Amino acid sequence: MESDLLRQQISNMRQSLFVEEILEYQFLQLEQLQDNENPNFLQEIMTLYFRESPKTIAIIDQAFIGANKVTKEINQALECFKGGDIQGCKAAVQRLKQEHNILRNRLESYFQLLRQAKIC
């Protein structure tokens, strides 16, 4: 009786994860790979995912920071140009080039990780 209640609770929770769009079809595919020889397969995969995903999220965050910095430097250069501050404009363009290089390098790292993830 208690095991039936537990099964129902598990089923309800699982369904809720799909209804709330927390999980999607790929999760079902992973579930199908679990069998008697590897009963904890899904849990092991998800543990690996949660261990590795913060690295990717950090790279994405850094890339967006880079994009924000590039935009900031463009705006700064425009303000200097409008104000007739040639020296300020030149300095902003130099910072713009630097931030652009940082952004490019970070995004290249990000895309490399994405390619690796598709291989694994």
Query: What does the pLDDT read at residue 119?
Result: 60
**Domain total in the chain:** 1
Least confident window among 9-18, 24-33, 51-60, 111-120:
111-120
Q: What domain range is 115 assigned to?
A: 50-119
Query: Which residues have CB under 8 Å from 107's CB, separation 6+?
Result: 63, 66
In a domain? residue 71: yes
In a domain? residue 18: no
Q: Which of 120, 119, 117 is nearest to 57 (CA)?
A: 117
In a domain? residue 27: no
Least confident window among 19-33, 55-69, 89-103:
55-69
In a domain? residue 5: no
pLDDT more than 70, % of the chain = 92
Query: What does the pLDDT read at residue 47?
Result: 87
Q: What is the mean pLDDT of the chain?
A: 83
pLDDT tens sequence across 60-89: 677 767 677 887 888 888 888 889 888 988
d(CA 78, CA 100) in angstroms, rounded, equals 16
pLDDT at 120 over 60: no
Q: Are 93 and 74 in contact (CB under 8 A)?
A: no
- Inter-CA distances, 38 with 11, 25, 27, 30, 48, Å: 21, 21, 16, 12, 15
With H, G, I as helix, E, B as strand and everything else as coil, classify residue 84: coil
In a domain? residue 38: no
pLDDT tens sequence across 1-23: 677 888 888 888 889 889 998 88
Query: What does the pLDDT read at residue 19?
Result: 92
